[in-house]
Structure 1
């Protein structure tokens, strides 16, 4: 029998994840490995070992679980427990997801290393000692126990009989080497329930327990045998629904997991308390019931007895945490959880078979001198000797009967296993036959399709032959048509030559006019391009000014947030000092009412300051995340400017090679300056966030709520405190009524603005319809003048063809016709420019950053209504501007 030993607790931190690096998260942990201490936001904890993110897997095993193997071979039960929030590295540390492929990897977890060392020590023990190793694996999913080594997914029952707790129907498999053990672990890991959340792509949705049973039998000395159990527990991670963003079934899974971990925390808290009269709530959850028990008998019933928590076991706990400050609250909760577990003490004993224990006791009695006298007849009571012998014979017969039952059950299980293997072979044969039938049917279908394709191909060839004949006939007809056309063209050529001579003079005049028109068009195009360039330059200047204004506004808002955070931190410190002063002072009887008011005001102010600090922490995290996104966007913009794949017009060549244009260099300088400002803002934001988190971490709201009323012993004092609380509640109610009244007034103004905007839109649509009607009339006039000009032009050409000489009247008429045609073209261009592409344009804020800047300067209760009114004002202004622009274009 050993003395009480405490539970050993180790803490391991994982490195930063890719998501945390993208969010620019900071480290909230400090590691003191030599002194086995870890600090989180000013809170320092001491454990049996501290493993920082740089610690490799082999060192983790050597420091934590390697020492349990010696106690395991002595016959003691052992337990390794991994606890932490979701995504903190529990499964990676334990190696629950390892396979036969990765069992020799340098990054394998505790389980494969422990199993490897177990079988190596068995092989070195010698032939005089015989060991048998059995494994079993179960999961607790949705408060239901499932056997992971059995193909059946029926839930198992946890029962209790004769003071012993057991899982009915849990299977055990005998293993003889590392490969067989890892094969069973891989089989159970594949059946384990997993899912995806916002914090972990492969999140374990159940608690998994992998048990290794070691039975020792020495040749010729069965009394020294034992049966020991090694319990390897991979708990599901604690979750916050706000961070995991779980919904539906995934949300209910997270709630069940948190309920089980809460029950486990209550058990740990109860075990860590000092005192004899303690109630341990093992029955609140399945995981707590199974952690208090352990496998004992090699039958189809898995019996348990208290061991892992507060019982017969060497227990080791590994608390896995995240170093990111975005998970600082969960990390601090895990460290407090582990700190309470250090206070639990177990009393492990060697697990000896009950039958062998009884035989040993009888042999000890046989060696006792007093019993020798009884056995050899040195006393007058001969009946005692006969009674002892009969009792021993009955016990031996009972044990033999139990042994026969065990052997019969083993034989039944072997028969079941043989039948299962035969059934599996039959299933494989049926699958082969099914696959063969499927291939034959698929082949027949392909043959049918090929036959159809061949028939279609023959039909297509026949149609192509007919088409070739038709084409040949068409070519002959075209040849005859060309001969006829050649004869007609020969006749027309002579007439055309005469007409061309008449047109020569007209072409000369027309060519001169066309050259003048080309020059005019070139000048218009050149002026238009110059105007566009100037307009682009103005737009770029306006955009730069707007970006600078937005940037300055952002900096002002960020500085205001940092100042607010500093003020919140100062108020929090002041409220903490004030609360500490009131907690030290004892209320006097003649000043009880005033002291009660001051005490309650101080406590309420402390709670309000703490909540305000938590809100400010979240706001600073969002601000830092926005700065990170803006920094990434600026870096991408800079890389796109510096990329060698830029088009040539954007770069200028020098003697050293291609270089950036002055505009790009100026843009790069602005980007560098903004990046420098963003880095400074991130540093200030992280410093303020660390200060606030340190202040929040120093306030333990739960413990303060428990000790707040400990000095309240009399009914009179309670009445005073209730009176003060009622006054506070009445004042808060009056404030809420005033705010609701003010909110109704704002909503009424909002409805009036919406009605006004609808009227503006309706008027704008009427104006657009009028513009469309005028444009349609102009287009009709243009088409009419164009058709008249074309008819007049054709008549003029006919007159020129009939006349031998071109007189002055015809030339004047031709010039007038060209001027009318130009006038119609100008009207057509004017119609095109006055078309409205977007009659009603719904304008939204420029970007999400501007919207967040406008919102951040207001209180959370006023932000929604103010943002709504600002958006309505901006839309109203832009609708007015659009209407004015459309009216100017029309005029």
Structure 2
């Protein structure tokens, strides 16, 4: 190999940043990246800088990216080197846009065309310039979906079985993948469109058209020199569009989308492990986990192998995605440290043949100098051929016993041979059927041609006769013309003969032409007859071949049957041997049990000896412990230092996580503020739009509209100010998180622990902290459970108290209403008593008095066992109070009252003129002092009406007020609880 082939080059990295999208602008996101003009450098936050081979800011066009970063790889492709373009980044960062994964032929002349279509265009431009070599192009397109390789150019419904193989010479090969040969750019673009239409795409919260798989578009280029066909160069270009890394919290993926995201992140994690293993100088020479994922397996040559590789790292400038952006930047920075070893991909057979030719020429020169010691090439070749033949015979002899001894190999070989012969038989039957159909068709054509042939032969004979007669007539006319030349009187006759002669010549020419056509048809018929006979011979040969093949298949089946019978017999013999061995095993087990009893006795003896040894070792351990105490006294300072350092690190990590949580809250707040601002602006825009019907606004309406716009604008300004404050807080927190998550600090975190003693003390401290935190957590959880239980108990007690209070309040209100009713009845009784009992002196001459009869209900009494609070009580049902003669418990009774209420309860009124009897009044007992019957003049009708109306008005107003009080009580605070009803 040349020095150029042996050189080592790093993976080149191009950083591309997309602009802020409308969703991020609406959420108030700010740009967190700063680009250094004229330098391939980007700064995150205030001072965290990253340097790459190429850096493209959001204003960079697709053409600039292609010409600057991708175009140099194509020149190496035509020189025979492999190349890879790899797009990596967060979901929604512009990978598919950069690669052109959604390209169609309608976008051919647009400036947004990605890398793949531009590569296709450039390849065919270079092909048209290569006049001294022949170029062959082929393409393949695959995707890795859920760790399964899918062929995007395979149009059938049945999925092919695709597997990955590794060739020591050609590297990684994909068996079963469709590879289409293309001859122009249109065909290659058609393959790209076909694969793009079959790719798996889904919608997430971060990207409406998110790629759910890794896609690899491969272009194979084979170059052959026109002067020397053996000089072949084969190179490949892999164009890889990786699926984006994503977080479930942001994408809000569920179901199949969540499974796809997990598979994508797993593949990218394996790719990151490979990049870390290849890019870390400290891990140089260690194992590289290519086989952890199919993605890394396919990219094995592109990362650390035979390829010129370019990684396009796509990032988002929004500060809401700063963590994913930093991860991508670190990922790309590690990828720059990978070293590839590209070599010239020349056909090894052509190189070997070239070397052998040179060696032959040099040997010929040597032989020419040797003279009598020449050896001809033919003799050497014959000798080598004979040696090769002997070696092959020896290999067959060595291989046959092994093949016979392995039934699986023999069965597989028989199945393969039968399948191959069956396939040959099917192909033979197909060819035979085609030839028989062809012969049948030709025979049918011959059958149609036979009557035409007889007819043509008859026509030929008649035409030949006509030609002869016409020829004779022609000769006669020629003689007549010659004689007519001598006789001048026959000029007219000669002219007629000349015309007749011309007509005869035309007829003769036409007849000769027909004769030639018919002779051609006859020759065609003869050739078809020959073809039919030839095809019949071939059919007979193929039939004999088919019979021979079927006979061979039958013989092989018979051989296989005999072989299987023999093997079954051997299996029976082996089973018999197995039974014998089992009997021997039982015998050995019995012997083992005997030996075990002996060993048990010896073990007991050894245990006694072991105890004595243990006592001796315990004394030795006591001495060793004393020595350790002496050593630990010197390690106390180390332990305290490690403890202080560990607690400081833990505090930093906890503070960082809290800062991340607060950062997320601030991002959500800013998002809500941005939504409020957009809504207010929409309201302002809606207010500025002209109304549908034109009308004249009043001055007050104009002033109100102006005040509304002014208030909305003030709200927008205040919200913008608050959002700016949130953005400043976000930038500050992000900078703190960046400082805390410094990659160098993370790597150097454990450098301070250099000895085993320090590591042990650190582990002890961490273990103690973990145990303490677990104990504290368990204690807090138990306290929380206890507090929750107490809260439930208190809530239950509170609900019970509210129910009790509600029932007591209802009972109190009902008692109040009842007492008010009694009072009103008493008042009514007094008023009506004074109105209707008193006799006026002006009406005494009529001799008519109003008779008041007090209805005696003293005979009603109850015998309740409860509190006499419902209508089961006879007294309460009769609207009287319980008395001394009632059989109820007077201590529990709630219907007991004074005697005035008794009178008011048991008295009713009759019409005027009915007098209450003295006995009835006497039965009531003594009336109160304020209830004396006096003679008063009967009032006039107007006076009585006015008094009645006043009494009724006062009574109705009182009842209305009590009803309002009851309604207010029902709508009170305790009305939500279900009242407790008393069971009777």
Q: TM-score, normalised by structure 2?
A: 0.54
- Say whether 1:24 aligns with 2:28: yes
1:594 matched to which residue of 2?
640
- Say whether 1:728 aligns with 2:766: no
1:322 matched to which residue of 2?
316
- Say whether 1:136 aligns with 2:140: yes
CA distance in 2, matches of 1:765, 1:93: 76
CA distance in 2, matches of 1:206, 1:281: 21
Per-residue CA deviations over 1:11-52 (Å, capped at 9, x if unaligned) read 001111222122111111111241110112232111111111
Shift of 1:332: 0.5
Equivalent positions of 1:826-837 (< 5 A) are: none
1:180 matched to which residue of 2?
187
- Say whether 1:605 aligns with 2:651: yes
Equivalent positions of 1:414-493 (< 5 A) are: none
Give 3-state SS (helix, strand or coil) of 1:198's partner: coil
Give the count of matched residue pairs.
587
Any conservation in 1 of the 2:16–2:57 contact (CA below 8 Å)?
yes
CA distance in 2, matches of 1:219, 1:92: 39
Cα 1:273–1:640 change in 2 (3 A) is closer
1:806 matched to which residue of 2?
none
Any conservation in 2 of the 1:80–1:233 contact (CA below 8 Å)?
yes
- Say whether 1:660 aligns with 2:702: yes
Shift of 1:729: 3.2
Shift of 1:697: 1.6
Q: Which has the higher contact order (CA 8 A, sep 6+)?
A: 1
Cα 1:724–1:124 change in 2 (3 A) is closer
Any conservation in 2 of the 1:237–1:257 contact (CA below 8 Å)?
yes
- Say whether 1:278 aligns with 2:289: no
Any conservation in 1 of the 2:80–2:235 contact (CA below 8 Å)?
yes
Larger displacement relative to structure 2 (1-10 or 271-280): 271-280
Per-residue CA deviations over 1:791-826 (Å, capped at 9, x if unaligned) read xxxxxxxxxxxxxxxxxxxxxxxxxxxxxxxx9xx9
Any conservation in 1 of the 2:206–2:251 contact (CA below 8 Å)?
yes
Cα 1:761–1:232 change in 2 (3 A) is farther
Give 3-state SS (helix, strand or coil) of 1:67's partner: helix
Give 3-state SS (helix, strand or coil) of 1:382's partner: coil
2:11 matched to which residue of 1?
7
Give 3-state SS (helix, strand or coil) of 1:153's partner: coil
Per-residue CA deviations over 1:713-750 (Å, capped at 9, x if unaligned) read 44443443344334433442443244334423542454
* C-alpha RMSD of matched pairs (Å): 4.2
1:430 matched to which residue of 2?
none
Per-residue CA deviations over 1:213-249 (Å, capped at 9, x if unaligned) read 1111222222433111111111111111111111222
Cα 1:644–1:103 change in 2 (3 A) is closer
Shift of 1:659: 5.7
Give 3-state SS (helix, strand or coil) of 2:229's partner: strand
Shift of 1:129: 2.2
Larger displacement relative to structure 2 (169-178 or 701-710): 701-710
Structure 2 residues not aligned, in runs of 5+: 389-422, 431-632, 818-952, 978-984
CA distance in 2, matches of 1:239, 1:624: 22
CA distance in 1, matches of 2:807, 2:133: 98
Cα 1:271–1:643 change in 2 (3 A) is same
Any conservation in 1 of the 2:160–2:176 contact (CA below 8 Å)?
no
1:634 matched to which residue of 2?
680
Alignment equivalent of 1:615, drawn from 661, 679, 684 = 661
Shift of 1:393: 14
Alignment equivalent of 1:67, drawn from 60, 72, 76 = 72
Which of the two has higher C-alpha Rg? 2
Shift of 1:188: 0.9
Cα 1:177–1:762 change in 2 (3 A) is farther
Equivalent positions of 1:490-639 (< 5 A) are: 591-639=637-685
CA distance in 1, matches of 2:652, 2:387: 73
Cα 1:685–1:106 change in 2 (3 A) is same
Cα 1:665–1:748 change in 2 (3 A) is farther
Structure 1 residues not aligned, in runs of 5+: 293-306, 396-411, 420-586, 775-822, 842-878, 885-891
Equivalent positions of 1:733-744 (< 5 A) are: 733-744=774-785
Shift of 1:354: 2.5
Per-residue CA deviations over 1:137-184 (Å, capped at 9, x if unaligned) read 111111111111112433411134667542111111111211111100
Cα 1:719–1:185 change in 2 (3 A) is closer
- Say whether 1:40 aligns with 2:44: yes
Give 3-state SS (helix, strand or coil) of 2:281's partner: coil
1:348 matched to which residue of 2?
342
CA distance in 2, matches of 1:839, 1:234: 73
Cα 1:107–1:361 change in 2 (3 A) is same
Shift of 1:653: 2.9
Give 3-state SS (helix, strand or coil) of 2:345's partner: coil
Give 3-state SS (helix, strand or coil) of 2:235's partner: strand
CA distance in 1, matches of 2:212, 2:969: 55
1:372 matched to which residue of 2?
365
CA distance in 1, matches of 2:719, 2:654: 31
Equivalent positions of 1:161-200 (< 5 A) are: 164-200=171-207
CA distance in 1, matches of 2:66, 2:383: 53
Larger displacement relative to structure 2 (204-213 or 275-284): 275-284
- Say whether 1:671 aligns with 2:718: no
Equivalent positions of 1:875-890 (< 5 A) are: 880=973
- Say whether 1:83 aligns with 2:88: yes
Give 3-state SS (helix, strand or coil) of 2:101's partner: coil
- Say whether 1:214 aligns with 2:207: no
Cα 1:185–1:166 change in 2 (3 A) is same
- Say whether 1:684 aligns with 2:725: yes
CA distance in 2, matches of 1:840, 1:676: 49
Any conservation in 2 of the 1:374–1:384 contact (CA below 8 Å)?
no
Any conservation in 2 of the 1:33–1:51 contact (CA below 8 Å)?
no
CA distance in 2, matches of 1:224, 1:766: 110
Cα 1:702–1:338 change in 2 (3 A) is closer
Cα 1:140–1:375 change in 2 (3 A) is farther
Shift of 1:131: 1.1
Equivalent positions of 1:372-391 (< 5 A) are: 372-374=365-367, 377-378=370-371, 380=373, 382=375, 386-387=379-380
Any conservation in 2 of the 1:268–1:341 contact (CA below 8 Å)?
yes
